[in-house]
């Protein structure tokens, strides 16, 4: 027979109060005998656990508390005494957060942050290298225009969009070059640094100055450019295949213990030829069986196994005009 279920509330000074289901054994519900399941025991165990709390105050909470404290002054909370802590070990007292002042950054701050529009216009007017540009703007020649007290140059980019390039005086050019090449600009090359510079800035011989700045950059000279080769695109199936030997495996009924695998790099067409051993003669016979179905490839990639690098196998590849590419030593992923 099935026992009836009842939703009960259990209270205890040990684990507090929980609500669970129980099977009723006795027909009388008053002071009846209940059969609790594993779920009830799990609830009681979770109720007895003391949560491990860590006090964390976010910036928004801190500003809110400071605003409330400025309106209503409250006495600071007192730390519980050691006697109270001994009697109630479940009380967790958060450590007081002590503000830690950050040290002053080394070096001078960026000069560009200290230059306002009036000081920049004065430096732009007094720069001797920009005198020919001011003269062309006064005569209406060239691409130079004046907006307010500042001198700009009109230029079109690769997409035909007109950009206004601010002319930079000589005293601030190194800072502009550092802004366009270093820091968040990720130390890009000459071409990308010039493109970034010419979006917003210009001065006479700025392209040459950019090239000299990038080529004399110390981090760029130390790290250097990655020597990456462009992998050619395979346009014909079975023109390049990858071969490898698998084994030794359990001996088959025909006394074969190895597999010579071949896969086309473009179509991913696989071949697996069972062989008794992996000497040069067996490998060449298996390759001829594969080539009889797919034809002779232009290139074969394999590892540095002795069966692929022997004199007989090398002469076989040379006789049929097959280029062999060996993978790196101790790096079969290549």
Least confident of 44-53, 112-121, 220-229: 44-53
Share of the chain above pLDDT 90, in %: 0
pLDDT at residue number 107: 44
- In this predicted structure, the answer to whether residue 318 has a pLDDT above a threshold of 70 is yes
CATH class given for the domain over 117-223: mainly alpha
pLDDT digits (tens, 9 = 90+) for 127-179: 888 888 888 888 887 788 888 888 888 887 777 778 888 888 888 888 888 88
Share of the chain above pLDDT 70, in %: 70
pLDDT at residue number 117: 80
pTM of the complete model: 0.40
Give CATH for domain 240-326: 3.30.420.10
Please name which of 132, 128, 129 lies closest in space to residue 142, comparing C-alpha atoms.
132
The domain limits of the chain are 5-49, 117-223, 240-326
Higher-pLDDT residue of 15, 306: 306
Mean pLDDT of the chain: 76
pLDDT digits (tens, 9 = 90+) for 65-99: 666 655 554 555 555 555 555 555 554 444 556 66
């Amino acid at each position: 027979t099935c026992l009836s279920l009842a939703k009960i509330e259990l209270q205890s000074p040990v684990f507090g109060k929980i609500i669970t289901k129980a099977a009723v054994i006795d027909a009388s519900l008053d002071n009846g005998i209940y059969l609790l399941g594993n779920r009830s025991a799990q609830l009681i165990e979770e109720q007895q656990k003391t949560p491990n709390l860590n006090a964390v105050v976010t910036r928004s909470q801190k500003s809110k508390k400071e605003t409330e404290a400025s309106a209503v002054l409250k006495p600071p909370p007192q730390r519980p005494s050691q006697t109270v802590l001994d009697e109630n070990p479940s009380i967790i007292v958060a450590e007081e957060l002590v503000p830690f002042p950050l040290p002053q950054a080394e070096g001078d701050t960026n000069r560009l942050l200290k230059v306002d529009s009036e000081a920049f216009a004065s430096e732009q007017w007094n720069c001797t290298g920009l005198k020919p540009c001011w003269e062309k703007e006064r005569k209406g020649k060239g691409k130079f225009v004046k907006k307010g007290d500042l001198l700009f140059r009109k230029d079109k980019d690769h997409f035909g969009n007109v950009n206004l390039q601010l002319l930079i005086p000589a005293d601030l050019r190194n800072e502009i070059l550092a802004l366009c090449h270093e820091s968040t600009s990720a130390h890009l090359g000459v071409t990308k640094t010039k493109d970034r510079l010419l979006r917003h800035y210009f001065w006479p011989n700025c392209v040459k100055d950019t090239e000299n700045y990038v080529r004399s950059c110390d981090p760029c000279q130390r790290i250097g450019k990655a020597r990456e080769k462009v992998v050619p695109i395979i346009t014909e199936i079975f023109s390049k295949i990858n071969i490898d030997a698998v084994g030794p495996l359990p001996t088959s009924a025909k006394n074969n213990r190895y597999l010579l695998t071949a896969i086309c790099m473009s179509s991913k067409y696989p071949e697996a030829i069972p062989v008794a051993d992996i000497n040069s003669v067996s490998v060449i016979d298996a390759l001829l069986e594969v080539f009889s179905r797919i034809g002779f490839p232009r290139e074969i990639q394999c590892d540095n196994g002795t069966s692929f690098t022997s004199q007989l196998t090398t002469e076989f590849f040379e006789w049929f005009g097959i280029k062999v590419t060996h993978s790196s030593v101790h790096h079969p992923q290549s």
